[in-house]
């Protein structure tokens, strides 16, 4: 499973890219606004840090505007993927962007039938938001299972399943077990994934024992 970072904070992106585990980055208008930086500049900087798909979301809601904005954003770098909302005009924009050879990430997906439409429209990736479904008392992971199974039934559908709105490490574990193509992970969950108290305890014991070793130096 590919791991994308779900953030527009370049310091975080540098930090986790140094671990050698980051395959791409996703942003959205909320994350860009939170960064307090100019949209195009952040996307360009992220592209210089991570050599993989970098999602930049359009803010138009009409097909023509989305295609225009998407074409402009795709010009920033060859790795930019245009994030388009899963609405009727977004599907038409996905189709038009695909015809221009521009990759898309169809976002705000909350049902398997929405995902099927995104795939039919030619989406490169589709982003089901599992945490927001869990918040409603639904099972976000059941949606991932439905979409993964549906796409497997029709090998001509090449759209990748990008698990988004991840809230905990178990979401990542289950996404991988289900065979999702990508998980986009917020920085704080990356820290939870790498950390384990038994690792810390074991390392502390190894280092303490190392201090008591015989050094071979003369004792008197």
Nearer to ligand G3P, 26 or 114 (CB): 26
**Looking at the DSSP assignment, which residues form a beta bridge with residue 50?**
none
Given a contact cutoff of 8 angstroms between Cβ atoms, the answer to whether 134 and 140 are in contact is yes
Question: Could you confirm whether 15 is annotated as catalytic?
Answer: no
Provide the strand spans (E) within the chain.
Answer: 2-6, 24-26, 54-57, 80-85, 104-109, 125-128, 160-163, 182-185
Nearest to ligand G3P by Cβ — which residue?
Answer: 165
Residues 120-149: x/- map of binding to ligand G3P (CB under 6 A)?
---------x-xx-----------------
Q: Is 97 exposed, middle or buried (0-12, 13-18, 19+ CB in 10 A)?
A: buried
Please list, in sequence order, all residues whose beta carbon lies within 8 angstroms of the beta carbon of residue 11, skipping any fewer than 6 positions away. none
Nearer to ligand G3P, 136 or 217 (CB): 136
Least distance in angstroms from the C-beta of 179 to ligand G3P: 19
Nearer to ligand G3P, 170 or 200 (CB): 170
**Looking at the DSSP assignment, which residues form a beta bridge with residue 85?**
107
Question: Of these, 165, 171, 178, 190, which contacts ligand G3P (CB under 6 A)?
Answer: 165
Nearer to ligand G3P, 6 or 69 (CB): 6
- Position 151 contacts ligand G3P (CB under 6 A): no
Which of 2, 15, 34, 83 does the annotation list as catalytic?
83
Question: Of these, 50, 164, 178, 180, which contacts ligand G3P (CB under 6 A)?
Answer: 164
Length of the chain equals 220
Tell how far CA 143 is from the center of its chain. Answer: 17
Interaction site with ligand G3P (CB under 6 A): 6, 26, 28, 129, 131-132, 164-165, 184
Residues with a catalytic annotation lie at 83
């Amino acid at each position: 499973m590919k791991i994308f970072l779900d953030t527009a904070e370049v310091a975080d992106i540098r930090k986790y890219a140094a671990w050698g585990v980051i395959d791409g980055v996703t942003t959205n208008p909320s994350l860009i606004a939170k960064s307090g930086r100019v949209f195009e500049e952040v996307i360009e900087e992220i592209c210089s840090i991570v050599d993989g798909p970098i999602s930049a979301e359009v803010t138009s809601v009409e097909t023509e505007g989305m295609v225009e904005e998407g074409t402009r954003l795709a010009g920033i770098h060859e790795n930019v993927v245009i994030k388009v909302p899963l609405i009727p005009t977004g599907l038409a924009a996905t189709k038009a962007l695909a015809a221009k050879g521009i990759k898309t990430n169809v976002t705000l997906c909350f049902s398997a039938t929405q995902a099927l439409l995104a795939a039919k429209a030619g989406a490169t990736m589709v982003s089901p938001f599992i945490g927001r479904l869990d918040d409603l008392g639904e099972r976000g992971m059941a949606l991932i299972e439905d979409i993964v199974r549906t796409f497997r039934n029709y090998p001509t559908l090449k759209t990748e399943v990008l698990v988004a709105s991840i809230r905990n490490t178990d979401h990542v574990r289950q996404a991988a077990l289900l065979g999702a193509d990508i998980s986009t992970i917020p920085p704080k969950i990356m820290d939870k994934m790498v950390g384990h108290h038994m690792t810390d305890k074991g390392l502390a014991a190894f280092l303490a024992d190392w201090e008591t070793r015989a050094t071979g130096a003369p004792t008197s």
